[in-house]
Amino acid sequence: MRDLLIDEVDWKVRFPHVTVGGHLGIGDRHFLIPIEAVERDSGGFVTIEQSREKVRGAPELDPNIMLQPDLRRGIYEYYGYPSPA
């Protein structure tokens, strides 16, 4: 996990920002996963209830562009969770 994205209206964490692939930051692919998909195991590691294949097929995030409402809704839809208001 790289970062957490917080909703600036109600100050709730909405997405962990994860990266996949690459080496030393080169060729990384960036994804957001709805916080509703996150679980914690007893060892303190964060796990999600989605497969690696599901994450790899998710809409990619350009970390240099601010998250737009359409992308946010699309991510929730992709993972099958209702989008917060």
Which is more confidently placed, 44 or 83?
A: 83
CB-CB neighbours of 61 under 10 Å = 19
CATH 2.30.30.240 at 3-79, yes or no: yes
Q: How confident is the model at residue 3 (pLDDT cuts 50, 70, 90)?
A: confident
Which is more confidently placed, 8 or 25?
A: 8
- pTM of the full predicted structure? 0.75
